[in-house]
Structure 1
Amino acid sequence: MGKDIFSGRYTTENDKDIVVFMIGMRINKRLAIHKWLPVFLAMPPMIKELHTHQEELGFLGMESFFGLRTTVMIQYWSSTEALLSYAKGKKHLTAWKAFNQKVGNNKAVGIYHESYQVKKGNYESVYGNMPLYGLSKALSHIPIEPHLNSARKRLKGAESNNRA
């Protein structure tokens, strides 16, 4: 996807249940490169697989952030079932097994993840003069019209649409 800037204010549809999955690692001992580098390098093949087979896996999109010690990837999934199915897949299980063999309980590197099931109508977003980013890359990106002008309206809008 390009980095075209969309002038004005945009939001996303919120008419689908989604799963927000955050995953990352923390380098606890910077000099223990032999422990944390394999963990770091395990992610790119999985990310490639997710983007290559996006629709069939139920993967909607992601953003990544890198700090001095901690990385985080925010992923959007179509369902908990899709996320759990990927976790049981060959590429992920291979990486998980390698982590446990190489790192285990060693304090040099830590990993974490958090999963959130979000029901339709219970999330909202706004993007002003931005390229497609985060949830707007994962769901329908739409201009904000008067009936969606505030966070409250965007949240209530989905609620009233669900009743119709």
Structure 2
Amino acid sequence: MTDILKGRFTADAGSLGDDVVVFLIGMRINKPWKVGAWWPVFTAMPKMLRYLAEHPDKGLLGYQQALLPSPLVIQYWRSFDDLARFARDREDPHLEAWRRFNKRVGDSGDVGVWHETFRVRTADIETLYGNMPPYGLAAASAVVPVGRGRESAAARIGATDTDEPALPPY
């Protein structure tokens, strides 16, 4: 288990460059009794994530996973081009998983898949992690203490020149 960083921290998103791609991908098990339809979809993502961890040159910076209410992975990519290249490269594991999904599931409605892609200017990102191990974007970049004058979310994101947190920081 990663050590807890006591106190308040933020991600050094600017260390990633001018922008970062946040990619949300998930699945929805519509017919739980049809294990043969959804199990291959469920097991495809961990294989891809292991592959990407072994090949950092592909551009995945980091990710977080959740299982409830339905499986979801939040991924941080170096660029949209890297993400698109991985999705389409015949040598990478995604294209074959996509092909198998289309063949096995198609429009049956047995299992759903979805994704949302956001290209975000790092200057427009605000994060806060309190008493957490490196997590999310901070794990994909670097963790830095919340600095003086940046106690409020509005100050951290640059929406105001004054730092007026709703509660005193700990």
Q: TM-score, normalised by structure 2?
A: 0.86
Match of 1:160 in 2: none
The letter of the residue matching 1:87 is: A
Alignment of 1:40-55 (within 5 A): 40-54=42-56
Give deviations 1:102-153, integer Å, cap 9, x for gaps: 1111111000000001012111100111011111111121011113222122
The letter of the residue matching 1:99 is: F
Match of 2:76 in 1: 76
Alignment of 1:6-155 (within 5 A): 6-15=5-14, 16=17, 17-54=19-56, 56-68=57-69, 70-90=70-90, 91-155=93-157
Match of 1:4 in 2: 3
Question: CA–CA distance in 1 between the matches of 2:156 and 2:89?
Answer: 36
The letter of the residue matching 1:85 is: R
CA drift at 1:89 = 2.0
Report % sequence identity: 41
**Is the CA contact 1:14–1:122 (under 8 Å) kept in the aligned structure 2?**
no
Unaligned runs of 5+ in 1: 158-164
CA drift at 1:155 = 1.4
Question: CA–CA distance in 2 between the matches of 1:12 and 1:125?
Answer: 6
Give deviations 1:1-28, integer Å, cap 9, x for gaps: x411001110012323101000010000
Give deviations 1:42-91, integer Å, cap 9, x for gaps: 1121010111112x1111100011025x2110000111111111111231
Q: How many correspondences in the alignment?
A: 154
Unaligned runs of 5+ in 2: 160-170
The letter of the residue matching 1:10 is: F
Question: CA–CA distance in 2 between the matches of 1:6 and 1:149?
Answer: 17
The letter of the residue matching 1:113 is: H
- Residue 98 of structure 2 aligns to a residue in which SS? helix
Q: TM-score, normalised by structure 1?
A: 0.89
- Residue 113 of structure 1 aligns to a residue in which SS? strand
The letter of the residue matching 2:123 is: G
Q: Give the CA RMSD over aligned residues.
A: 1.3
Moved more, 28-37 or 141-150: 141-150
Match of 1:161 in 2: none
CA drift at 1:92 = 0.7
Question: CA–CA distance in 2 between the matches of 1:67 and 1:120?
Answer: 28
- Residue 149 of structure 1 aligns to a residue in which SS? coil
